[in-house]
Structure 1
Amino acid sequence: MISMAVVELSRLQFALTALYHFLFVPLTLGLSFMLVIMESVYVMTDRPIWRDITRFWGKLFGINFVLGVATGLTMEFEFGTNWAYYSHYVGDIFGAPLAIEGLMAFFLEATFVGLMFFGWDRLSKRGHLLTTFMVALGSNLSALWILVANGWMQHPTGATFNPQTMRMEVTDFMAVIFNPVAQAKFVHTVSAGYVCASVFVLGVSAFYLLKGKHIAIAKRSFTVAAAFGLAASLSVVVLGDESGYALTENQKMKLAAIEGMWQTEPAPAGLTLFGLPSNSGRETTHEIKVPYVLGLISTRSLTGEVTGINQLVDTAKVRIAAGIIAYDAVETLKVDRNDLVAREAFERNKADLGYALLLKRFIADPRQADAATIEKAAWSTVPNVPAIFWMFRIMAGLGFAFIAFFATAFAFSSMRRFDARWFLKLALFMMPMPWIAIEVGWAVAEIGRQPWAVDGVLPTFLAASSLTVPQLWTTIIGFTLLYGILAVIEVKLMLATIAKGPERYVPWRPDSPAEPAPDFRAVPAE
């Protein structure tokens, strides 16, 4: 049995690297398609200023892209170093989307990103626009396959446990790909990335307008960001509703924890705006609710029921009892693979095998568990309710604030009002907010899945590698220092590029065929 200190430190290390990596991913997702929009305007209008705009934001995209790739590779190695049993147990399923992401999406990005940066004089305008689109497509396909893998962890489908190999194996790969949780997470995540990039472009544009620099480029960038951001922020909320519906169908405990709902309410359930949930007290006090809203969002009906935490714990007890039967059958099949009675018992209860594994945190052999141990294991399925409750409300509150922010920006841009200094200062203040919303949203998704590495299949405490506490602290400190240095480099490069500002691109035309010349020279843009 791996100590819980090792498990928690392994979780901390992965959380730190994932949170850091996700500082770069949303901006890459959003900026890539904003570059497509800006360059499309250049191709359609043939106005050089739009080429300058595209090249400027492309530089910032490139800096961010490099850091995103570098930090993402580290995370994939961590599955082997820190989560070895997880990789062994579910690698047949989880490894496939990661491999496809690397072979298809990542190579698509890597192939076209060089052409995008260095092909301005070597490709036609439409050809270069195509390369920019392919970079954007590759970036978003990378997110798709990563979220297919993560979505399977949230809602394992299209796979089953094989008692002969003692591993999970794919039975329906299309079910893995079209997992409803994965699809909902993908559209919600990329929309959040579009919001992030829009706030970033709007904030930098506001900075230039406040300083009276690069006015023509800043106004046009402001307009693109306002329109793109308004559409993206509206889609985040709409697609968030789809995510809530997916939770109702597939992750009932997470939904109940988000709402701090300990008891099942008569349908349709009310939405809790404020409350003080407590894991120890197993209640939520001082609730302020909006009647019917939660039931309508999560079940899309007036009669659908949202199950409370206490009732879900009772269900977990039943599943643990069934899982013990499946566990006993697996142990029998280890000795005799042809035992038909054990095979039949396993097939009847295999869906609950993971619940029996929860008992291994408290007892070596789940078959020896008494009622008190089963009770304890059942309550371990309840995540940190107060943390999830408040982080979700931070994310949702910022989501609605972005709609108001972009609606105001869109109104100002439509009226050609770019001199409202209060709003320009607000745009600067808003720049870090998308990252806060995105990071707490990721925390809600991952903490809300606990105690499972794969929901209902593999508990987190069984998934970790056999490492030591000193080894983990060494890598945590090492990653923190390395990533801290990279963060300083990233910020300095971004600030230097913003301070320098856009450049007017002038293709080089030699006066003499014999004169050697560079491909282009750049001069400051007005």
Structure 2
Amino acid sequence: MHSLDTVVDLSRWQFAATVLYHFIFVPLTLGLSMLLATIETVYVITGRAIYRQMTLFWSKLFAINFALGVATGLTMEFQFGTNWSTYSHYVGDIFGAPLAIEGLMAFFLESTMVGLMLFGWGKLSRGKHLLVTYMVALGSNLSALWILIANGYMQSPVGSTFNPATMRMELTSFSNLVFNPDAQAKFVHTSIAGYLTAAMFVLGISAFYMLRKRHIELAKRSFRVAALFGIFASIAVICLGDALGFINGADQPTKLAAMEGLWKTAPAPAGFNLIAWPNQAEQKNEFELQIPYLLTPLVTHSFTESIPGVDALEKQAAQRIRNGIPALVALKTLREHPNDAAALAQFNAHKADLGYARLVQRYAPDVSNATGAQIQKAAADSIPPVAPVFWSFRIMVAAAFLMLGFLILAVNYSLRGTIVDKRWFLKVAPWMIPVPFIANEAGWLVAELGRQPWTVYEQLPTWISASTHSVGYMIFSLTGFVLLYSIFIVIEMYLMVKYIRLGPDDDGHGATESATQPRVSQWSEA
């Protein structure tokens, strides 16, 4: 069992490492594609060369980020087959559909249009090139949509049922899978977080140019577009984060309890733990700074609805484990005697809690003889790691409000035309570039750590989902991926810094161009 636990832990670390690396690139791709479409729209409408120059310059940085995002994303998806074969077998009929659509429809659309966008200057008319840029943005967002539909099923499995004959989950409603409230809320929240990431990225680089009195016209206009783009995105991401929290509170109460460090079920309206130090072993907070009465209206949008704490959720899990054991016993009988009507009836009566019975299977392979202590231990496993989820959530929220305050000032200074004179603000702006990336990574940790101990919530435990590799193989594989992806990050940073220092091809003054035959840039000629 120790070896199995180690393999599962190493598989989780490898997947977490690859996703966290990949998720550095994804939000910036989503946001920059929309910003590029916005800036090029202004160029097509006004015909002003400065906006064309802006589009060309930010396209360079988009291309670098896109290439590294593709390189890290492809290997990530292969891990479902290599390291999580049980998971792939169990839910492949469902999970494979959105991944296939993402690859065939969104990814190829995005990749094809990126090539046309980068090298189509001088070959396409303004209108056609603008259409291509919008198709890049559409492809990027469609790609995110299908990935998050797949992830949404892991968070809130809908539109499927377990077939005891095949021992697999099978799709029963594609529309329920696509319109899963968790998936749709997460898609909008993640996409807008990407827009905010791109806005902060453009603001920081534009401020860098203004500080050094280089490319002033491009920097001022880029700053204004990004500030306006970002202020709306920051407000939206906070509001939609609240909506996603409301959905998670209903669908995943264990995640909510971890996010709020809520060990005991408190009478409504419960207080909000602004700061706390959770102790999972003793199921208490060593220290907490609480705002009274705030949590209940935040989470339930009411003042009277109670929020279950870890104590109530563990008792509920223990009961569901006991209720699911007959289903797992019946399933074993059905494997040997598929036509056993009594076993099938027993399975159908208890199948809703089959996943919970698999939790205790970790400690009692023969679940029919599971002891009370083993059931209680499995019930404790149903609670995710509270401290990492609690603090990741607060880092994400604090970063969101920090960016909102920063963007309010950015919009104010930009619209008043005083931004060039606010050197203290310009010095702060480049240091704000990492903030949305930190928030994005923290949000991913909340979503994925908060789902534990499940790969598919309440259906398939993580401990049973991994492939049967050796510990040595997993160490080698994990080390290789971390080294490779670290090299990718170094390449990304080197190329970004190089082209930011080089700046745009020219200052955009005095350019003459045909409305249908724009000048070919150095980037296109390269």
Which range, TM-score by smaller chain? over 0.9
1:418-468 CA distances to partner (integer Å, 9 max, x unpaired)?
220111111011111111111111111111111111111111110000111
1:125-152 CA distances to partner (integer Å, 9 max, x unpaired)?
1111110000001001111111111111
1:321-347 CA distances to partner (integer Å, 9 max, x unpaired)?
111011111112222222222222211
- Partner residue of 2:217? 216
Greater alpha carbon shift after TM alignment, 39-48 vs 360-369: 360-369
Structure 2 CA distance for aligned equivalents of residues 161 and 230 of structure 1: 45
- Partner residue of 2:404? 403
Residue aligned with 1:24, SS: helix
Structure 2 CA distance for aligned equivalents of residues 112 and 159 of structure 1: 35
Q: Per-residue deviation at 1:224?
A: 0.6
Structure 2 CA distance for aligned equivalents of residues 251 and 466 of structure 1: 29
1:46-91 CA distances to partner (integer Å, 9 max, x unpaired)?
1011000001001100010000011000011011111111101111
- Partner residue of 1:39? 40
- Partner residue of 2:437? 435
- Partner residue of 1:474? 476
- Partner residue of 2:103? 102
- Partner residue of 1:111? 112
Give runs of aligned pairs for residues 38-187 of structure 1, distance below 5 A: 38-187=39-188
Structure 2 CA distance for aligned equivalents of residues 436 and 521 of structure 1: 34
Residue aligned with 1:165, SS: coil
Q: Retained in 2: the 8 A contact 1:6–1:472? A: yes
Structure 2 CA distance for aligned equivalents of residues 508 and 386 of structure 1: 59
Residue aligned with 1:22, SS: helix
Indicate which of 488, 492, 506 corresponds to 2:490. Answer: 488
Structure 2 CA distance for aligned equivalents of residues 435 and 61 of structure 1: 16
**Alignment gaps of 5+ in structure 2:** none
Q: Retained in 2: the 8 A contact 1:257–1:448? A: yes
Structure-1-length-normalised TM-score: 0.95
Q: Per-residue deviation at 1:519?
A: 7.6
Q: Per-residue deviation at 1:508?
A: 9.1
Closer, same or farther: CA 521–6 of 1 in aligned 2, 3 Å: closer
Structure 2 CA distance for aligned equivalents of residues 113 and 209 of structure 1: 29
Amino acid at match of 1:417: T
Q: Per-residue deviation at 1:213?
A: 0.2
Structure 2 CA distance for aligned equivalents of residues 43 and 519 of structure 1: 14
Structure 2 CA distance for aligned equivalents of residues 521 and 280 of structure 1: 61
Q: Per-residue deviation at 1:284?
A: 1.7
Residue aligned with 1:103, SS: helix
Give runs of aligned pairs for residues 251-270 of structure 1, distance below 5 A: 251-270=252-271
Q: Retained in 1: the 8 A contact 2:202–2:222? A: yes
Give runs of aligned pairs for residues 66-465 of structure 1, distance below 5 A: 66-418=67-419, 419-465=421-467
Q: Retained in 2: the 8 A contact 1:208–1:214? A: yes
Q: Per-residue deviation at 1:319?
A: 0.6
Q: Per-residue deviation at 1:379?
A: 0.4
Residue aligned with 2:24, SS: coil
Residue aligned with 1:503, SS: coil
Greater alpha carbon shift after TM alignment, 340-349 vs 373-382: 340-349
Q: Per-residue deviation at 1:261?
A: 0.5
Closer, same or farther: CA 507–119 of 1 in aligned 2, 3 Å: farther
Amino acid at match of 1:446: E
Q: Retained in 1: the 8 A contact 2:121–2:520? A: no
1:472-523 CA distances to partner (integer Å, 9 max, x unpaired)?
11111211222222222211111111111012476899xxxxxxxx983549
- Partner residue of 1:515? none
Q: Per-residue deviation at 1:272?
A: 1.2
Q: Per-residue deviation at 1:311?
A: 0.1
Residue aligned with 1:94, SS: helix
Q: Retained in 1: the 8 A contact 2:265–2:307? A: yes
1:148-175 CA distances to partner (integer Å, 9 max, x unpaired)?
1111111111111100000111111111
Amino acid at match of 1:183: Q
Amino acid at match of 2:494: K
Closer, same or farther: CA 33–519 of 1 in aligned 2, 3 Å: closer
1:185-223 CA distances to partner (integer Å, 9 max, x unpaired)?
111111111111111000000000000000000000000
Q: Retained in 2: the 8 A contact 1:261–1:309? A: yes
Q: Retained in 2: the 8 A contact 1:262–1:309? A: yes
Structure 2 CA distance for aligned equivalents of residues 175 and 137 of structure 1: 23
Amino acid at match of 1:452: W
Amino acid at match of 1:257: A
Residue aligned with 1:456, SS: coil
Greater alpha carbon shift after TM alignment, 162-171 vs 485-494: 485-494
Residue aligned with 1:3, SS: helix
Q: Relative CO higher for 1 or 2, CA cutoff 8 Å, sep ≥ 6? A: 2
Structure 1 CA distance for aligned equivalents of residues 158 and 309 of structure 2: 24
Q: Retained in 2: the 8 A contact 1:121–1:507? A: no
Amino acid at match of 1:480: V
Structure-2-length-normalised TM-score: 0.95
- Partner residue of 1:512? none
Amino acid at match of 2:312: Q
- Partner residue of 2:5? 4
Q: Retained in 1: the 8 A contact 2:27–2:195? A: yes
Q: Retained in 2: the 8 A contact 1:247–1:298? A: no
Aligned residues between the structures: 515
- Partner residue of 2:14? 13
Q: Retained in 2: the 8 A contact 1:507–1:520? A: no
Q: Per-residue deviation at 1:290?
A: 2.1
Q: Per-residue deviation at 1:107?
A: 1.3
Q: Per-residue deviation at 1:95?
A: 0.7
Q: Per-residue deviation at 1:289?
A: 2.1
Percent identity reads: 55
Structure 1 CA distance for aligned equivalents of residues 82 and 320 of structure 2: 32
Amino acid at match of 2:462: T
Q: Retained in 2: the 8 A contact 1:508–1:520? A: no
Residue aligned with 2:306, SS: coil
Amino acid at match of 2:42: V
Amino acid at match of 1:520: V
Amino acid at match of 1:368: N
- Partner residue of 2:24? 23
Greater alpha carbon shift after TM alignment, 292-301 vs 252-261: 292-301
**Alignment gaps of 5+ in structure 1:** 510-517
Q: Per-residue deviation at 1:285?
A: 3.6
Structure 2 CA distance for aligned equivalents of residues 393 and 481 of structure 1: 30
